[in-house]
């Protein structure tokens, strides 16, 4: 059964990025911009895990935990923008299972999500194989095959292909893809993505000059098609 994860944070861009990574890993995601709205969403959706910011308007993460955990024992990962041991201790004492400090790399957050779900008794392994058209990508072995032929991808190319293949048809802007490579805090040059895409096409496309899988959506970004 698909696990539901709730992401609670008032930073819309961070929520969007985390939602992308969770969806890629096979989770169903619900969101809320503050603790007050999160109470309503959580009671309705009954999530399997909550990723919870501490400092938010309307109701902060601490107050949400005090109220919600009277009713449920849902695992919680706290997000904090401050490196403050006292703040972390308060959160853990209130029942948080883990915490992560902003800025963070999405890959680190995903590792913590999987670890918390394992500790909480999750028995359903996450699907780590993506197979779209002639391309097969295996996250566990970090391998990629095109029409049965293994191709060597750099770590950045592998991450980009994973993101694009996870949601065929979705258009990713260059900034979206930079966020996936570098984390939620990055002021890099977006055109770097064009070079990665060019190199990736050279490895997976039958004809890189006329891409079959990775389309350029002019003025918007890139999307993966089913060929």
Evaluate the CA torsion angle 165, 126, 96, 67 in order and state its sign: positive
Domain that holds residue 50: 4-119
Q: How confident is the model at residue 187 (pLDDT cuts 50, 70, 90)?
A: very low
Model confidence pLDDT, tens digit, residues 77-134: 988 876 566 666 677 777 788 888 887 887 788 888 888 888 776 544 455 788 888 9
What b/e readout covers 38-71, taking b as 16+ CB neighbours within 10 angstroms? bbebbeeeebbbbbbbbebeebbbbebbeebeee
Is 143 within the bounds of a domain? Answer: yes
CATH at 56: 3.40.50.2300
Evaluate the CA torsion angle 140, 145, 149, 153 in order and state its sign: negative
Is 181 within the bounds of a domain? Answer: yes
Among residues 86, 119, 152, which one ends one of the domains? Answer: 119
CA distance 85 to 59: 22
Verify that 100 and 53 share a domain, yes or no.
yes
Verify that 107 and 210 share a domain, yes or no.
no
Verify that 208 and 156 share a domain, yes or no.
yes
In the chain, what percentage of residues exceed pLDDT 90? 34
Distinct helix (H) and strand (E) counts, the chain: 8, 11
Verify that 9 and 49 share a domain, yes or no.
yes
Among residues 98, 119, 140, which one ends one of the domains? Answer: 119
Model confidence pLDDT, tens digit, residues 157-176: 998 998 899 888 889 888 88
In this structure, the number of other CB atoms found within 10 A of the CB of residue 150 comes to 10
Model confidence pLDDT, tens digit, residues 20-67: 888 888 889 999 999 999 999 998 998 999 999 988 888 888 899 888
Predicted TM-score (pTM) of the model is 0.59
- The number of domains in the chain is 2
Is 124 within the bounds of a domain? Answer: no
């Amino acid at each position: 059964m698909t696990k539901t994860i709730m992401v609670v944070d008032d930073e819309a861009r961070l929520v969007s990025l985390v939602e992308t990574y969770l969806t890629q890993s096979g989770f169903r995601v619900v969101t809320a911009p503050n603790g007050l709205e999160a109470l309503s969403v959580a009671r309705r959706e009954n999530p399997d895990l909550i990723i919870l910011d501490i400092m938010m308007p309307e109701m902060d993460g601490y107050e949400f935990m005090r109220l919600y955990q009277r009713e449920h024992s849902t695992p919680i990962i706290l997000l904090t923008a401050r490196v403050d041991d006292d703040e972390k201790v308060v959160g853990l004492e209130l029942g948080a299972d883990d915490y992560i400090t902003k800025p963070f790399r999405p890959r680190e957050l995903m590792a913590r999500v999987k670890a918390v779900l394992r500790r909480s008794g999750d028995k359903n392994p996450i699907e780590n194989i993506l197979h779209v058209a002639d391309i097969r990508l295996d996250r566990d072995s970090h391998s990629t095959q095109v029409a049965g032929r293994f191709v060597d991808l750099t770590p950045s190319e592998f991450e980009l292909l994973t993101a694009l293949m996870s949601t065929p048809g979705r258009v990713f802007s260059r900034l979206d893809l930079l966020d996936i490579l570098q984390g939620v805090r990055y002021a890099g040059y977006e055109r770097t993505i064009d070079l990665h895409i060019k190199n990736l096409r050279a490895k997976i496309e039958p004809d890189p000059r006329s891409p079959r899988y990775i389309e350029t959506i002019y003025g918007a970004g890139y999307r993966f098609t089913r060929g």
